[in-house]
Amino acid sequence: MHHPDDDPKLLDYNAWLFQEHADESQRQAQRERQDALVRRCQATIGPRTFISELAMVAPTSLRLGADSYIAAHAYVTGTVHTGDDCTINAFSVVRGTVTMGNAVRIGAHTSILGFNHSMAPDRPVFRQAGTERGITIGDDVWIGSNAVLLDGVTVGSHAVIGAGSVVTRDVPDWAVVGGNPARVLRDRRVPKPAARGDGSVEAARGLADLARRATAQARALIARCWQQDALAPDGTPSGRYVDAPGARPTLRAHADAVEISQLLLGEPPAELPAREHVRRLRQNQDPRTGLTPLLDEEGRHGPAPSGYADGALHYHILSLGYALDLLGSRFAHPIVAVADMTPQEIVDTLNGQPWQDMGWAAGAGVDSLSTALMWNLLREPHPSPHTLTQCDTLFGWLHTHCRPDNAMWTGPRPQDGLLQVVNGYYRAVRGSFAQFGLPVPHPEQAIDTVLEHAADVRHFGPGLTTACNALDVAHPLWLAGRQTGHRRAEAEEWARAQLAGILEQWVDGQGFPFRFPSPGGPDHQDQRPGLQGTEMWLAVLWYLADILGMADSLGYRPRGVHRPEPALSLPR
């Protein structure tokens, strides 16, 4: 390393050397530089900081934490607030409203743009009004050189943004992301797998190939499921999404289209403007109950729901809620039918689920109830005691009624073994323990039960395997496997055995069927490719791949209904 005396500008470009090598005249010049910023914009600047004279720093509000620096030719304007140990390296641009936690490292030539402008066709772009949602970056984040972060994104703590990435959507905690648009490649806490002689390399290549094909074909397979009508009088696109050609329009299909497009492309489906997607997904929520009715055979909205007991409407709480979340929106109203429940009514609702006869439906009831509580909590600036008591009641019931022998909420039946038991378990824990980031009870017994079910040939094979049945095994093995190493090799063996068969089901330009076709070919609608099958199998593949330590081969990470991260942590 050259000594600073060799070049008077060395410290401007290698700002981390300033505290060790600057002489007194350089330190005095730095104090004057910082004092001028304090006077100009009431800046707050922590100790042991350095702001290069060669940087253009002209914010309206600046907070620079201790042990931080801004290097030569950085361009910093707007409202920029950082924690301690933050570094803005040479030629970086940080503009608009940008908030950083502690220990954020920004590589050279990076642009973090916490503002934007409109681009309506009625006037030149340079005359458009500005917008500013801002960018929030957590703690311990490394942003590689030449990355671009666009207005409105949130980067979770401990994330790594790969060099050259273009970040257009939120980045989860601990995620490693890369690409344009940036996609989650893996979780920092999970080491990359070493090359093995068990077919892992071939499996990883198969996953990567499928992901490339799915991404390239995403727009076409979604467009295939758009039922176009004539334009409305005002020119607004008119039509509805169907699960597959020939099916009737549903809001579930619309939500699946949003999930697939956001997962693979990082953008809303092209058939409608983003605001129109939001309007349609929100438009018929009943303000009295907070529930959204199904569409009728002609694609029109049905009558207002009678109340929470109408279970046919429950999946809209998940599908529409998460589709809106991916579009940066929320339900227009709280889920009033759940918000108004007393603790005793929650207990009565849970006790009233058909655990023994229809375990899947019972688990679905828990899933929708838990998800409604989550959306309601997210609407409250400060969680109310009533809503927190509802959550305590829900989780208390789940813990006290969970059977210690099999970790489920019911036992097997002669006619279908553990099918209803395990399917109900997945739905119940997805909406509760997984969605709120809480450990599942009796994880080793859960793995035992799920592996026993996975070996039941009545439910897996040609004409039998469905996306639901596969997900109901893959997710619990993944979730409980994060708490224990119990029978991990068997879980990996099962996951590895599923991959090849699933990859074979992809139909170019159409996606995945919900159910594996029969040996003689598809003989039912759910054995033909559609949006539901595509959305669910893409999630199943991610969980199987993550069990095997190769999810980074896919280049995507579920972000909606089937997201692996908790959606909300309960206040402690």
Among all residues, which ones are annotated catalytic?
117
CA atoms within 13 A on the CB side of 35: 6
Backbone angles phi, psi at 39, to 5 degrees: -70, -40
The span from the CA of 154 to the CA of 160, in Å, is: 13
Q: How many CB atoms lie within 10 A of CB 164?
A: 17
- Amino acid type, 135: I
Which letter does DSSP use for residue 511 in this model?
A: B
Cα gap 451→423, rounded to integer Å: 13
SS3 (DSSP) at 379: helix
Using CA atoms, how far residue 195 sits from 199, 350, 409, 481, 550, in Å, is 9, 47, 40, 22, 11
DSSP letter, residue 548: T
Residue 362: HSE in the Cβ half-sphere, 13 Å Cα cutoff: 23
> How far apart (Å, rounded) are the C-alpha atoms in residues 263 and 184?
10
Going from the C-alpha of 230 to that of each of 209, 235, 253, 515, 527, the distances in angstroms are 38, 9, 20, 33, 31
Q: Tell me how far the alpha carbon of residue 517 is from its chain's centroid.
A: 30
Tally of CB atoms within 10 A around 98: 26
Length, in residues, of the chain? 572
Query: φ and ψ at 548, to 5 degrees?
Result: -90, 0
The per-residue DSSP string of 33-93 comes to: HHHHHHHHH--EE-TT-EE-TTSEEEEEEEEE-TT-EE-TT-EEEEEEE--SS-EE-TT-E
Q: Which residues pair with 98 in a beta bridge?
A: 80, 135
Backbone CA torsion sign across 11, 16, 18, 20: negative
Distance in angstroms (rounded) separating the CA atoms of residues 451 and 445: 10
The phi, psi pair for 241, rounded to 5°, reads: -90, 140
